[in-house]
Chains A and B, each alone.
Chain A
């Protein structure tokens, strides 16, 4: 089995790209990654994307992006796993490299969200949930997460301010991230006073809507010599699923997909969760970040939000988490998110993270989720 390395990364800023199409965004990120390692010629393209058919009346993104990159002839396909599409695209490439089938590949995660009206975005996101038993009754994606948040607060006596800890942390970290959508700190009071979206979740509990694309150029160990600068290994990529709908689960507060995927990934990398010194969690909603750190085994059940409030996941003196703002601050262009997380983890481990660089970061874990922990993809990256 070959080892897999990150040769380079690319990403656009996240936000309103009124003058750029979904293809423009994918090419911008893709070119950056290719330019970072000019000697590497990819043998495969995989695109992570959730709803290009709805947002841009465009499917067939594999061939479209291959042609846009000027690489006609190269095989390319799209991977869809709701908000975990980006992570899953990387996992698909990881497995091909690991198996020795190819020696180099480009992963591009992309989503165009702002061409849709807000109501259309809700509809598109909700397509990750059951059409017959969730969408039919009018339950949007945020409403499911809101019901999860109420249950979490009720079961574990979690306060409004406890829940706000992850959004506050994310925004603080996003200030120095040049590609982040919201580079502005928010206070506990700001979160508590923001508009109610679906009680108890408020605007600042929820990741924003934005356009963006991110890319990774991955190589096998045979091509690792072509990589300039510090070598970062993609040590493991694993995925798992939970029962499809939240309400079908015996314990709704157990993110079993995340737990299983993380267990497999750490085992495959020969590491334990205590070896991780940089973390990217899927903070699409405040409650999701809290339940994720619990499922990863970093916080005890019911303690994730409180631990965050007490500084456990702070850049200073904690397990540095979401140092470019996470989904909440950097933004959440859904199909691109998992690839942003990996690009950012790479920047930390390559010690190229700029003002938010974590001292001596050497093992990074990135958790990307589709639905309410319905699909989870967990990657482990390691500085060589």
Chain B
């Protein structure tokens, strides 16, 4: 799989949290959907998500997937953004013992993975406590 190609397609999603908004009922979604989950409309247009929210749940993963070894142990969370949208992302610049469900976080732009062989670096959103 050429990660670089899917990454290139998704840059706006990864860099600025561009999801979609339903033209009919105005609900917002991230990751983007093809059909509105609330009203069934297919009229959806790109919309940047708010960058702040709260932690719904989190974990400290001891052994990461290949390509993330330098980030062990990795903190991951499911974040509810201030528009109600829930997304998954890494939580950084803190340790597990400092985290609680309900903590406020904001999205920041960081390096996600680096490919050893090609040296390619992939960027995207992560979360920090506020």
Residues of A within 8 A of B (CB): 118-120, 122-123, 126, 130-140, 142-143, 146-148, 150-151, 154, 196-201, 243, 245-248, 252
Contacts and interface: CB of A to CB of B under 8 A. Distances in A.
A154 B101 contact: yes
B62 A196 contact: yes
B43 interface: no
A147 B124 contact: no
B93 to A, nearest CB: 16
Contacts of A138: 61, 64-65, 67-68, 71, 74, 76, 90, 112-113
A72 B60 CA distance: 50
Contacts of B59: 143, 146-147, 150, 198-201
A146 B77 CA distance: 10
Contacts, number: 106
Contacts of B62: 196-198
A247 B10 CA distance: 19
Contacts of B61: 138-140, 142-143, 146, 197-198
Contacts of A243: 37
A139 B10 CA distance: 18
A139 B57 CA distance: 13
A137 B31 contact: no
B74 A147 contact: no
B60 A137 contact: no
Contact of A140 (B1, B13, B65, B89): B65
B94 to A, nearest CB: 14
B57 A197 contact: no
B128 interface: no
A355 B113 CA distance: 51
Given A147-B58, A247-B88, 8 more contacts: A122-B65, A134-B88, A136-B112, A139-B76, A143-B76, A197-B61, A243-B37, A247-B87
A139 B88 contact: yes
A199 B60 contact: yes
A196 B66 CA distance: 19
A354 B71 CA distance: 48
